[in-house]
């Protein structure tokens, strides 16, 4: 055991001994003063401490909110249209739960103080009241159903069909990074096969750049024949990137979410969205960015601000480091960025550089060399 462990153990033992001695001292005082008198005194003290705890607790909640509120995302607007609805629903939920919490807690601790034990008061036996039970059962049930209904409505909007003009971006999670893919000029994603994944060859997603033979297996995991997957030309111009996801302000974007290994989760906290990335089961969601990255730097007054993609599902030892960046830019900036990108196929199989075109000087020099050669070898 380390020195730190021994020190912590000693502290725990000391705390136990102190608590034990206080309890014994309280017991001795009770014997000296008389059980009844000690009980009444302790009861008054506990009742008073209930009120103190209530006041200090509410003050502490307000102080923490005042201290940490600006460090949350709540002071800043949502970066997507869907997120605005999520924020509204969240504020309504917090408002309702907050009011109920304050009322119930104040009554709980106040009643503990006001109706403390007293021999001058006799407890009133009140087993039940049908009207009250119907009220405090029906009202919360209806309220929760309404909140859940709005949540489902916004959820189906977020995961439903994206607008026709939506750009499509595929995001694939792997331990412990994100891979982004954009369709090429044909605006169509190429097909892929997971056994074609080859990091060394530049094929991170297993795109079908060539014909591939696959082996079929029976239910008892025995080989049951072969099949061929033809190369998909639609994947030759797909852009694959690991640095950041580029989106356009004001243009809807449909995310096609995949995983290469275990379950991940695409968390877009600034856009108030999240969706699981499940191996073999693509999921989708769409949204419309409202502010460029530069605009959010001004809104948050943070010159280093970046939209972040986090993995919100525990996925391994380095789960904490699985972060990505979203760059929301103007249409002109996106066109310029897109023009500079090369397809994953072109990066994996670069075309040989063409020989430089001959110039007038080089042509003349070549002619002289030819004449000299002819002169030497008549």
pLDDT of residue 358: 61
pLDDT of residue 22: 75
Q: Which CATH fold would you assign to the domain 167-205+237-348?
A: Immunoglobulin-like (2.60.40)
CB burial string 308-329: b at 16+ within 10 A, e below: ebbbbbebeeebeebebebbbb
Domain boundaries, the chain: 20-118, 127-159, 167-205+237-348
CB burial string 256-277: b at 16+ within 10 A, e below: bbbbbebebbbbbbbbbbebeb
Peptide bond into 72 cis (omega under 30): no
pTM of the model: 0.75
Distances (CA, A) of 44 to 148, 233, 356: 44, 83, 98
Tell me which residues of the chain have a pLDDT lower than 50.
362-378
pLDDT of residue 149: 92
CA distance 180 to 245: 6
């Amino acid at each position: 055991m380390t020195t730190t462990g021994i020190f912590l153990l000693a502290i725990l033992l000391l705390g136990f001994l102190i608590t034990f001695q206080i309890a014994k001292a309280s017991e001795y005082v009770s014997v000296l003063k008389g059980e009844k008198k000690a009980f009444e005194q302790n009861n008054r003290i506990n009742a008073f401490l209930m009120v103190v705890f209530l006041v200090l607790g509410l003050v502490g909640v307000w102080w923490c909110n005042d201290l940490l509120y600006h460090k949350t995302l709540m002071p800043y607007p949502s970066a997507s249209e869907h997120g605005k609805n999520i924020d509204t629903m969240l504020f309504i939920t917090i408002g309702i739960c907050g009011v109920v919490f304050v009322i119930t807690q104040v009554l709980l601790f106040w009643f503990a103080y006001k109706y403390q034990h007293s021999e001058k008061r006799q407890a009133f036996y009140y087993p039940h009241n049908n009207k009250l039970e119907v009220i405090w059962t029906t009202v919360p049930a209806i309220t929760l159903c309404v909140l859940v209904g709005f949540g489902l409505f916004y959820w189906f909007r977020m995961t439903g069909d994206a607008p026709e003009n939506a750009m499509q971006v595929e995001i694939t999670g792997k331990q412990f990074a994100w891979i982004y893919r954009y369709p090429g000029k044909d605006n169509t994603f190429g097909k892929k096969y997971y056994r074609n994944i080859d990091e060394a060859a530049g094929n991170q997603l297993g795109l079908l750049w060539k014909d591939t033979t696959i082996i079929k297996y029976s239910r008892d995991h025995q080989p049951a024949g072969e099949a061929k997957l033809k190369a998909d030309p639609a994947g030759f111009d797909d852009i694959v990137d690991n640095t950041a996801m580029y989106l356009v302000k004001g243009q809807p974007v449909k995310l096609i979410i995949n995983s290469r290994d275990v379950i991940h989760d695409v968390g877009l906290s600034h856009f108030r969205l999240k969706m699981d990335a499940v191996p073999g089961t693509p999921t989708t969601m769409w949204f419309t960015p409202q502010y460029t990255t530069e605009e959010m730097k001004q809104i948050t007054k943070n010159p280093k601000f970046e939209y972040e993609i986090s993995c919100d599902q525990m996925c391994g030892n380095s789960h904490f480091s699985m972060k990505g960046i979203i760059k929301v830019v103007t249409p002109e900036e996106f066109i310029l960025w897109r023009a500079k990108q090369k397809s994953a196929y072109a990066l994996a199989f670069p075309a040989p550089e063409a020989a430089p075109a001959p110039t007038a000087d080089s042509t003349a020099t070549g002619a002289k060399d030819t004449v000299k050669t002819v002169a030497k070898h008549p």
